[in-house]
Amino acid sequence: MSRSKTHTTRIAPSRWIVRFANRISRSGTVLDLACGGGRHGRIFLAKGHPTTFLDRDCSGVEDLSGDSLAEVISADLESHDSWPLADRRFNCVVVTNYLWRPILPRIISSIAAGGHLLYETFAEGNEAFGRPRRPDFILRSGELLDAVRGHLDVIAYEQCVLQKPSPRIVQHIAARRP
């Protein structure tokens, strides 16, 4: 089984992302950041959204190379000083299970006027359940709220324990640029 099939069939999309996906305008552009197998970007692509898939290893989305609405960008966000998206703006930026604090301001500034941020990743306390355990990759209490304050309007926010596919503590946020 190819990596992309593994990513798209074994790991269900985040309920949080699915919950807010219909808020994005029909022709709105989407960025699936640190996309892995593209499980979230594929939701938007299936709805007809032009979707950019960005990851340092794009093998999980190589099957999308012939799709005219899909753009695949290979970039290591943690080792380059340059932001691979320049001044591009998206109607929706989706990030799950990924945290690299130095790029949080760039992620937020890549959201177009009226656009949305849908973000979900591990939070303090997750160490009790497994990886990640390093504080570098775990959000502090309220950190997503602090990151968007003054830039985006919060639609919904939670820090909670999720049980599926395995127990973990996450923060997730849905926010919109006015």
SS3 of the chain: helix, strand, coil, percent, to 5 = 30, 30, 40
> Which of 117, 115, 125, 116 is closest to 162 using CA atoms?
125
Coil, strand or helix at 166: coil
Task: Kindly state the average pLDDT of the residues 12-36.
Answer: 95
Its CATH architecture, for the domain 3-176, is 3-Layer(aba) Sandwich (3.40)
How does pLDDT run across 112-168, given as a tens digit for each residue?
999 999 999 999 999 888 899 889 999 999 999 999 999 999 999 999 999 888 889
**List of residues 6+ apart from 82 with CB closer than 8 A:** none
The CB density around residue 48, as the number of other CB atoms within 10 Å, is 11
Q: What is the distance between the alpha carbons of residues 120 and 173, in angstroms, rounded to a whole number? A: 7
Against a cut of 0.85, is the pTM above it?
Answer: yes
Contact 52/58 with Cβ under 8 angstroms? no
How does pLDDT run across 95-106, given as a tens digit for each residue?
999 999 999 999
Name the pLDDT band for 6 (thresholds 50, 70, 90).
very low
Residue for token pair 């190379």? 65
Measured in degrees and rounded to the nearest 5, phi and psi for residue 21 equal -60, -35
Q: What is the pLDDT of residue 15?
A: 94
Q: What is the pLDDT of residue 164?
A: 82
- ∠ CA 18-23-25 to the nearest 5 degrees? 120
Percent of the chain at pLDDT > 70 equals: 94
End-to-end CA distance of the chain: 43
Q: What is the pLDDT of residue 10?
A: 61
Q: What is the distance between the alpha carbons of residues 59 and 37, in angstroms, rounded to a whole number? A: 8
Residue for token pair 């007809």? 48
How does pLDDT run across 36-94, given as a tens digit for each residue?
999 999 999 999 999 999 999 999 999 999 999 999 999 999 986 778 998 999 999 99
